[in-house]
Structure 1
Amino acid sequence: PKGWQVQAAGEQRWLLKGTGERPLQVTLQCITELLHGPDDPVLTPVLGALEPARMSVRWASWGAADSGVSMAALQRRIVPGTEVQEIAELPRADRANPNAPHGLLMLRWDEEDPSHIQQREAFIATLTQSLEAPGTAKNTTGTAP
């Protein structure tokens, strides 16, 4: 989204920072293997380990299904509390190659913070608008690298 900043955050990892007093942070990591679930070791350096006694896990939809542009995200919620961790995989650039790299998005947000909610919604809208849906034109305006 407009105003967001991108900075390197390690090998094959970037940090996308939102705007405002409490900027939302999204980590983008390039991976080659598909995510193996909510406790995949690739998540630990960014989100920490899954703690089944303190966390619930569910699927969420990012984007508008009616427009044909949406993707699934895995949500890990810390209970009790207001922190939500979300993980979404971007499609492979070369879908014919199962070893082609693709992006893994990881974010933490506070479900009671209006700023985080607004920034999350703006990020998801920008992301899903940039994805190419069958039968629609690709809109790349304002997408992050």
Structure 2
Amino acid sequence: MRFRTVLAVTSSLLMAGCSLSEPPPRSGSPGAAVSQLQDVQACSTAFSLPAGWRVQPLGEERWMLHGTGARPLQVTLQCRTLSLDGPADPVLEPALGPLDRAAMNAKRIYWGTPTEPRHQAVAIERRWMEGSEVQEAVELPRMVDDPAGAPHVLLMLRWDEADASHIQQREALIASLTQSLEASGAAKDTTGTAP
């Protein structure tokens, strides 16, 4: 029964243009939360997710990435050719809702390590002034050989900074993406713009 479920999920990913495979464990991965990665291809980009994450097609060039545990982190993945136009970009509204400037702070941050800035992904963080919900929109750097106007990966997520599980899942996601960017030779310049 489990084999049929895995086969059905893999078939739907391939039909939707997103593929998934599990390579052997990689040594020297940043972050202890990454013990084994699964490779994904979407938006003409190859990257890795932490082991156990699921990928669900949502429609044309959109997927939902599901984390692990009792409160799995959910990340919307969308292919995009344009760079984000700040924290109020309309592309964010379906996944994150509109920016409420009276109740939220927004700033640009980076996913990755300061020692490897060329592998960092540009992120826009929208944080509620009251409460513990944090929203992020993250653009993965374009690959060196990408043609102009090629689609790139935009990730959008909400997480609870008071939830240790969400923090661990987010850290594992950042570590796996950082390792992917290091392995694939991402471009030195990212696609993001300052809010």
Aligned equivalent of 1:143: none
What letter is aligned with 1:98? A
- TM-score, normalisation: structure 1: 0.86
1:29 is paired with a residue whose SS is: strand
Q: How does 1:1-145 map to 2 (within 5 A)?
A: 1-68=50-117, 69-93=119-143, 97-132=147-182, 138=183
Q: Displacement of 1:10 after TM fit?
A: 2.3
Deviates further, 9-18 or 60-69: 60-69
Structure 2 residues not aligned, in runs of 5+: 1-49, 185-195
2:169 is paired with a residue whose SS is: helix
1:19 is paired with a residue whose SS is: coil
Larger Rg: 2
1:32-62 deviation digits (Å, cap 9, x = unpaired): 1111110011101110011101110012221
Contact persistence 1:82–1:111 (CA under 8 A): yes
Q: Displacement of 1:93 after TM fit?
A: 4.3
What letter is aligned with 1:55? M
Contact persistence 1:17–1:25 (CA under 8 A): yes
- TM-score, normalisation: structure 2: 0.65
Contact persistence 1:93–1:100 (CA under 8 A): no
**C-alpha distance 55-4 of structure 1, shift in aligned 2 (>3 A):** same
Question: What is the identity percentage for the equivalent residue pairs of Structure 1 and Structure 2?
Answer: 58
Aligned mates of 2:146, 2:133 — CA distance in 1: 37
Contact persistence 1:94–1:100 (CA under 8 A): no
Contact persistence 1:93–1:101 (CA under 8 A): no
Q: Displacement of 1:96 after TM fit?
A: 5.3
Query: How many residues in Structure 1 have an aligned counterpart in Structure 2?
Result: 134
State the Cα RMSD in Å: 1.6
Structure with a larger share of its residues in helix = 2
What letter is aligned with 2:167? I
Contact persistence 2:121–2:141 (CA under 8 A): no
2:112 is paired with a residue whose SS is: strand
1:99-119 deviation digits (Å, cap 9, x = unpaired): 111110111000010000000
1:109 is paired with a residue whose SS is: strand
Aligned mates of 1:79, 1:95 — CA distance in 2: 41
